C-alpha cells in the first residue's frame, strides 16, 4: 500500500516536471504557458518564455538562443510594460490573438488583431529561424515577430518598408542592459532620394551606413562576414528592404544595436565558443554623421580623425578649421553659376563612402557615360556615381547641392566623381583639361561660324518681312497680340492711361514683385483702385505667358479667383490690370512673425476652404479644365475680408475633356510646391495642383515655408517634419504657436491629415479636389496617408526645371 502511494507521488511530480519543462514549439487556441515554461523551436535553436534581463527583477516575454553563451535575447514582446513578478502567462486566446497576462489576468501585451475570421486551426509557432508567428495552415501568416524587431536583426528578417501595408520594420536599442524598453537609437532605411541605411539617435542621424551598391552598403564596407553571409536588397515601388542569410551553417551570426548606439556584427563559430564581435559600426570619429561638415572628407589617421576639403573647395571658417573644428565644412573656391559657358568637368575620387543620398536622384537604366552627360548638362548637379558597382557598374546616382558625410577608406570603398569648374580642373589635372579645352576651342570656332551664317540668313528674312508689313519688331508683337483680341472679351487700356494711374510706376506705388515682374497700385480716373502687373525685361516670362493669362483668366468667374479687369500691350510693354486686393498675398501674413498673429484659426480655415473651392472650379466646374501649375502662398491674394483669391495664371495649361495628364520638357514653377512627378519627369495633371494645395495647407497651419524649413533635430523639410510628427502620433505639434489659443484641435488634425494625403508621393494616391473638399468638411472618411513626395531634409534651389531625362534638373528664373 505504501509502495503504491510512493509511486503515485513520484508520478505526480514527474508529470508536473514534464508540464513545466515542455518542449513543444506551438500553442493552439486557448492554450498557454506560464512563467517557467517555454516553447522551443523544433531544431532546438530558439526558445520563447519569460526572463529577467541583467540585474533587473522585472519579467518579460522574449525569444533567445537556447544554447549560446552569453545568453542572447533577440526579441522582447512587452518591452514597455514589464511584469513585476513571475505570475505571467502567454496565451493564444479565443480571438486568435497572442496575449501576455499578469497575475490579475489583465493584458500587458498583445499581438495585433487579425482582420480575418477566427479559425480554430490558428496556431502560434516558434520557427527554427527565431520567428514567432500566428498562422493558419502553412502559408497564411496573420502576425509575426519578424515584423516588429527589437534590438536584433536575425538572418531572414527584413529591415525596411512595405509600401502596400505601410509597415516599416526597424531595429531599436534597449535603454540599458537591464531595461529592454525602447532606447534612443534605431537602425532604419531612409527612403528619401536613393534609399540608405542609417543609425539614428532619436530623430537625428548618428551614423549613416549608406546606400546599397549591389554588393553592400557604401558606409559599412566589412568583408570578414561576406564569405559566410549572403546579402539581399530589394528596392522597387512596392518594397524597400534589406535581408541577409548565413551561408556557413556552422556560424551563428546576428546584428545588434547596443544601448550606446553602436551597430555590432556578432558571431559564434560553435555553441561552446564565446561571442566574437566582428565589426562595430559607429565606433570611430569618422562614423559620426557629417563629422567634417559639407563638401569635405573624413579620414582616420590611426586613431585620429582628419578632415580635408574636397579639391576645389576651401574651409568656410579657416580659423576654426585650423583648430580642428570642422563641422562648418567647406564651400567652392570658385562657384559655378548656372548658364555659364564654363560648365567644367569632373574629378574622380576612389575608395569612398558616398555622400548622403537623401536628396539625390537615381536612374537604374543609365550607364556611367550617360550619367556623366546628364550631370554635365545640369548646372545644379555636383557629383555622380554608379548606382550598382557589380559587373563593371550600372545605373546612375546624382547629387545636387552640398555633399555631406563622406569618408576615405583604405579599401572596399566606391568611386564617385565631383564637378569642378574648368579653371580649377586645369590646376589639378592640367593635361586632361588642356586636351578638353582644345576640343572645346575647335567646337567654339565651328559654332561661331555656323551661328554667324544663320544670323545673316535670319536678318535677311526679317528685313523682308518688315518691308511687307511695314512694322518694326515690337509692332509685329503688337499685331500678333491683336489677332487674339476677339477671343479675349477684355478691355484694352492705353499705356499712357496706366502710367498716369500708377504715378509713372513710382516706387511708392509698388506692391511687390513676382516672376512676371513688379506689381503697382493704381487709381483710375473714376477713383477705382487697381493692381498693375508690369512685365519685367529681366523676366523669363514673356509674350506666351502674357497671352496665356489673358486668354484664360478673362473667361473665368469665381469668387476665389482674382478678377482681371484689362490689359495693355504697347511698344515693348506688357501690362495686366487686376482688381486691387488690399491685404496683399498670403505669404505676407503667415511667414511674418508679427503679421501671422493676425490670422486666427477661423481665418486660416476659411483661406484653406476658399483655395480648395477655387481649385475645384478650375479643375471641374469652369468651361475649360485648367491646371494652374504655380500654386503657392504668394499667388494667393487676400481681399478686404481676408477671403482668398488664386492669381497668376501665366503658367497655367488647359486640358481636353478626357485628358488626365500631359508632359513637358520645360518645367516651370516654384520648388517646394512642385510635385515629384513634375520636377523629375515633367508630368503634370490636376494631381500636381493637389500636391501644391497640400503644401499650402501645411504651411498655413505651421506658419513655416516648406522650402527653407529645417527642424534642428532631424533636418527635414516641412513635409518630412509633418510626416515624422504624424507617424509618431504628434501631428498637432505642427501648429503655429500663434494658433494655440484659437484653434479647434479636431479641425486642425483633419486639415493636417488632408494635407498629408494631398502631398503623397504617387499622384494616384492623392485625392481629387472634389474628395478633398468633402474630407475638409468632415463628410468623407480619411484613408491613412503614405510617405510624402520630396520627404527630404535637403532640397534643391528654390526654382528648378527638368528636361525630359528624369535625371536632369536645370534652373530657370527664380520664382
Look up 487 and say whether it is catalytic. Answer: no
Percent helix / strand / coil, the chain, rounded to 5: 25, 30, 45
Distance of alpha carbon 435 from alpha carbon 694, whole angstroms: 51
Instruction: Report which DSSP code applies to 618.
Output: I
Instruction: Report which DSSP code applies to 339.
Output: T
Spell out the residues 6+ positions from residue 695 whose beta carbon is closer than 8 angstroms to its own.
632, 672, 673, 706, 718, 719, 755, 758, 759
Distance of alpha carbon 638 from alpha carbon 792, whole angstroms: 31
Distance of alpha carbon 585 from alpha carbon 688, whole angstroms: 22
Question: Do residues 333 and 314 lie in contact, with contact meaning Cβ atoms separated by under 8 Å?
Answer: yes
What number of helices (H) and strands (E) belong to the chain? 16, 47
Instruction: Report which DSSP code applies to 763.
Output: G
| Choice among 630, 648, 689, 736 that is catalytic | 630
- Per residue, the 3-state secondary structure of 164-183, as one string, reads CCCEEECEEEEEECCEEEEE
List the Cα angle 731/732/738 in 5-degree steps: 140
Instruction: Report which DSSP code applies to 782.
Output: P
Neighbours of 46 (CB within 10 A): 26
Strand order of the β-sheet with 296-301 is 304-309, 296-301, 406-408, 345-353, 414-420, 381-385, 396-400, 361-363
Torsion over CA of 425, 427, 433 and 435, rounded to 10 degrees?
Answer: 180
For residue 513, CA distances in Å to 274, 584, 608, 637, 811 come to 71, 12, 24, 13, 19
* Residue positions annotated with a catalytic role: 630
Amino acid at each position: 500500500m505504501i509502495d503504491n502511494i510512493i509511486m503515485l507521488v513520484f508520478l505526480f511530480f514527474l508529470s508536473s516536471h514534464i508540464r513545466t519543462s515542455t518542449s513543444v514549439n506551438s500553442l493552439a487556441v486557448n492554450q498557454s504557458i506560464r512563467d517557467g515554461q517555454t516553447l522551443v523551436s523544433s531544431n532546438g535553436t530558439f526558445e520563447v518564455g519569460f526572463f529577467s534581463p541583467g540585474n533587473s527583477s522585472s519579467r518579460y516575454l522574449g525569444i533567445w538562443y537556447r544554447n549560446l553563451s552569453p545568453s542572447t535575447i533577440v526579441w522582447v514582446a512587452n518591452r514597455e510594460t514589464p511584469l513585476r513578478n513571475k505570475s505571467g502567462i502567454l496565451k493564444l486566446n479565443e480571438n486568435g490573438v497572442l496575449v501576455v497576462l499578469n497575475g490579475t489576468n489583465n493584458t500587458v501585451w498583445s499581438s495585433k488583431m487579425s482582420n480575418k475570421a477566427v479559425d480554430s486551426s490558428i496556431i502560434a509557432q516558434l520557427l527554427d529561424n527565431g520567428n514567432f508567428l500566428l498562422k493558419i495552415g502553412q502559408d497564411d501568416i496573420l502576425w509575426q515577430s519578424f515584423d516588429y524587431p527589437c534590438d536584433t536583426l536575425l538572418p531572414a528578417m527584413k529591415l525596411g518598408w512595405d509600401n502596400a501595408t505601410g509597415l516599416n520594420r526597424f531595429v531599436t536599442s534597449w535603454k540599458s542592459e537591464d531595461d529592454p524598453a525602447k532606447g534612443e537609437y534605431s537602425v532604419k532605411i531612409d527612403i528619401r532620394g536613393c534609399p540608405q541605411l542609417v543609425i539614428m539617435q532619436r530623430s537625428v542621424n548618428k551614423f549613416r551606413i549608406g546606400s546599397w551598391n549591389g554588393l553592400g552598403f557604401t558606409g559599412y564596407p566589412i568583408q570578414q562576414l561576406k564569405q559566410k553571409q549572403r546579402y539581399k536588397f530589394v528596392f522597387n515601388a512596392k518594397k524597400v528592404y534589406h535581408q541577409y542569410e548565413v551561408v556557413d551553417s556552422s556560424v551563428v551570426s546576428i546584428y545588434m544595436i547596443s544601448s550606446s548606439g553602436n551597430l555590432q556584427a556578432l558571431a559564434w563559430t560553435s555553441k561552446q565558443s564565446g561571442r566574437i564581435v566582428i565589426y562595430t559600426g559607429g565606433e570611430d570619429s569618422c562614423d559620426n554623421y557629417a563629422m567634417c561638415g559639407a563638401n569635405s572628407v573624413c579620414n582616420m589617421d590611426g586613431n585620429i580623425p582628419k578632415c580635408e576639403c574636397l579639391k576645389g573647395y576651401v574651409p568656410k571658417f579657416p580659423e576654426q578649421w585650423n583648430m580642428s573644428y570642422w563641422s562648418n565644412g567647406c564651400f567652392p573656391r570658385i562657384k559655378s553659376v548656372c548658364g555659364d559657358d564654363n560648365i567644367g568637368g569632373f574629378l574622380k575620387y576612389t575608395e569612398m563612402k558616398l555622400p548622403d543620398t537623401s536628396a539625390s536622384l537615381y536612374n537604374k537604366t543609365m550607364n556611367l557615360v550617360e550619367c556623366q552627360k546628364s550631370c554635365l548638362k545640369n548646372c545644379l548637379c555636383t557629383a555622380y556615381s554608379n548606382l550598382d558597382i557589380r559587373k563593371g557598374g550600372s545605373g546612375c546616382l546624382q547629387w545636387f547641392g552640398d555633399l555631406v558625410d563622406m569618408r576615405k577608406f583604405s579599401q572596399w570603398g566606391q568611386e564617385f566623381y565631383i564637378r569642378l569648374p574648368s579653371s580649377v580642373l586645369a590646376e589639378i589635372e592640367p593635361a586632361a583639361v588642356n586636351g578638353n579645352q582644345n576640343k572645346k576651342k575647335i567646337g567654339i570656332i565651328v559654332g561661331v561660324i555656323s551661328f554667324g551664317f544663320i544670323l545673316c540668313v535670319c536678318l535677311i528674312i526679317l528685313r523682308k518681312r518688315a518691308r511687307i508689313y511695314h512694322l518694326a519688331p515690337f509692332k509685329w508683337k503688337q499685331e500678333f497680340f491683336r489677332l487674339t483680341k476677339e477671343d479675349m472679351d477684355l478691355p484694352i487700356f492705353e499705356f499712357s492711361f496706366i502710367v498716369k494711374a500708377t504715378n509713372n510706376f513710382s516706387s511708392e506705388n509698388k506692391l511687390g514683385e513676382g516672376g512676371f515682374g513688379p506689381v503697382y497700385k493704381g487709381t483710375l480716373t473714376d477713383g477705382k483702385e487697381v493692381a498693375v502687373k508690369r512685365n519685367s525685361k529681366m523676366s523669363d516670362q514673356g509674350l506666351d505667358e502674357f497671352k496665356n493669362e489673358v486668354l484664360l483668366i478673362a473667361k473665368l468667374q469665381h469668387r476665389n479667383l482674382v478678377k482681371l479687369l484689362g490689359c495693355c500691350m504697347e511698344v515693348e510693354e506688357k501690362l495686366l490690370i487686376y482688381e486691387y486686393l488690399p491685404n496683399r498675398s498670403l505669404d505676407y501674413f503667415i511667414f511674418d512673425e508679427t503679421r501671422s498673429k493676425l490670422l486666427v484659426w477661423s481665418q486660416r480655415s476659411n483661406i484653406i476652404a476658399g483655395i480648395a473651392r477655387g481649385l475645384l472650379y478650375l479643375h471641374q466646374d469652369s468651361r475649360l479644365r485648367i491646371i494652374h501649375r504655380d500654386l503657392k502662398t504668394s499667388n494667393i491674394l487676400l481681399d478686404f475680408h481676408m477671403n482668398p483669391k488664386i492669381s497668376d495664371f501665366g503658367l497655367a495649361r488647359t486640358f481636353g475633356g478626357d485628358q488626365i495628364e500631359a508632359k513637358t520638357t520645360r518645367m516651370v514653377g516654384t520648388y517646394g510646391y512642385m510635385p515629384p512627378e513634375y520636377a523629375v519627369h515633367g508630368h503634370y495633371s490636376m494631381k500636381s495642383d493637389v500636391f501644391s494645395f497640400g503644401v499650402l495647407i501645411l504651411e498655413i497651419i505651421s506658419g513655416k515655408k516648406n522650402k527653407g524649413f529645417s527642424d534642428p533635430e532631424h533636418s527635414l523639410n516641412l513635409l518630412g517634419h509633418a510626416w515624422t510628427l504624424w507617424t509618431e502620433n504628434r501631428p498637432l505639434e505642427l501648429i503655429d504657436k500663434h494658433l494655440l489659443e484659437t484653434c479647434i484641435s479636431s479641425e486642425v488634425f483633419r486639415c493636417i491629415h488632408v494635407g498629408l494625403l494631398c502631398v503623397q508621393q504617387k499622384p494616384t494616391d492623392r485625392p481629387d479636389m472634389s474628395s478633398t473638399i468633402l474630407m475638409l468638411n468632415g463628410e468623407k472618411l480619411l484613408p491613412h496617408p503614405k510617405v510624402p513626395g520630396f520627404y527630404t531634409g535637403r532640397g534643391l534651389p528654390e526654382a528648378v526645371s527638368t528636361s525630359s531625362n528624369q535625371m536632369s534638373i536645370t534652373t530657370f528664373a527664380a520664382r
